[in-house]
């Protein structure tokens, strides 16, 4: 009986010691669990508030006000010049668009000439790509002259117009930020003209979010 009592005493002591030893461990685990929950809640809050604002895709209403032009040197007695091809866009509402992160693509039936004078013209399915809407890489006496107010603060704001011209591409040693291809051939001067009476499609693109802000079509009116 004395042995049995001694065994019970040892069991009670072991159980009490084990319980007391586990208490700090359980407390530490609970503390870590609470920290993880709080960190997750803070991270979710940041993603839902600040993160959403930082990566929110711009929204804007862009109207295609006018499109005039014609093919350059198409054999007519009075061919239309590249600089007479002009597309006028109006920002009618929504977010201001940073010129350095917005691109424009125009496609339709048009033409361009080879980069070296005398090599001739290319005519067919024409794609014009403005890599950005800033003044860099564009002809200094065309694009900046037409878009002075819009270029002033680097933003395309509500109420401002943007004018695209067939002669916007940079010349000489400056790398052009206007790229033109005809029938998939991009060995061009990066100037362009679109056939009068044909339809063009224009897309305003947010490069950072890789989404189309606006897509418009228009019939090219013969430049007077």
pLDDT at res. 117:
72
Does one domain contain both 64 and 36?
Answer: no
Which residue blocks in 47-185 are alpha helix, DSSP H?
Answer: 52-54, 143-146, 148-151
Q: How far is CA 113 from the centre of its chain?
A: 28
Which carries the bigger pLDDT value, residue 22 or residue 133?
Answer: 133
Does one domain contain both 167 and 184?
Answer: yes
pLDDT at res. 97:
97
Lowest mean pLDDT among 36-45, 77-86, 100-109, 122-131: 36-45
The pTM of this model reads 0.75
- HSE (side-chain half, CA atoms, 13 Å) at 203: 13
Does one domain contain both 29 and 125?
Answer: no
Does one domain contain both 94 and 7?
Answer: no
Q: Which residue range(s) make up the domain with 111?
A: 60-222
pLDDT at res. 209:
79
Does one domain contain both 17 and 122?
Answer: no
pLDDT at res. 20:
55
Last residue of a domain, one of 11, 33, 56: 56
- State the total domains in the chain: 2
């Amino acid at each position: 009986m004395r042995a049995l009592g001694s065994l019970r005493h040892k069991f009670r002591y072991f159980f009490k010691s084990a319980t007391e030893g586990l208490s700090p461990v359980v407390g530490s685990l609970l503390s870590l669990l609470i920290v993880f929950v709080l960190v997750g809640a803070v991270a979710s809050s940041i993603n839902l508030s600040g993160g959403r604002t930082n990566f929110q895709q711009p929204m804007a209403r862009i109207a295609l006000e006018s499109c005039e032009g014609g093919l350059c040197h198409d054999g007519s007695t009075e061919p239309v010049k590249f600089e007479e091809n002009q597309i006028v866009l109006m920002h009618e509402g929504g977010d201001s668009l940073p010129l350095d992160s917005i691109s424009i693509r125009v496609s339709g039936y048009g033409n361009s000439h080879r980069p070296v004078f005398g090599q001739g013209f290319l005519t067919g399915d024409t794609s014009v790509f403005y890599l950005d809407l800033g003044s860099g890489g564009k002809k200094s006496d065309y694009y900046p002259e037409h878009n002075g107010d819009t270029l002033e603060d680097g933003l395309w704001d509500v109420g401002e117009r943007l004018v695209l011209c067939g002669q916007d591409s940079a010349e000489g040693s400056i790398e052009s930020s206007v790229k033109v291809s005809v029938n998939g051939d991009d060995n061009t001067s990066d100037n362009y003209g679109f056939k009068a009476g044909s339809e063009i499609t224009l897309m305003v693109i947010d490069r950072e979010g890789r989404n189309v802000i606006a897509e418009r079509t228009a019939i090219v009116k013969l430049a007077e």
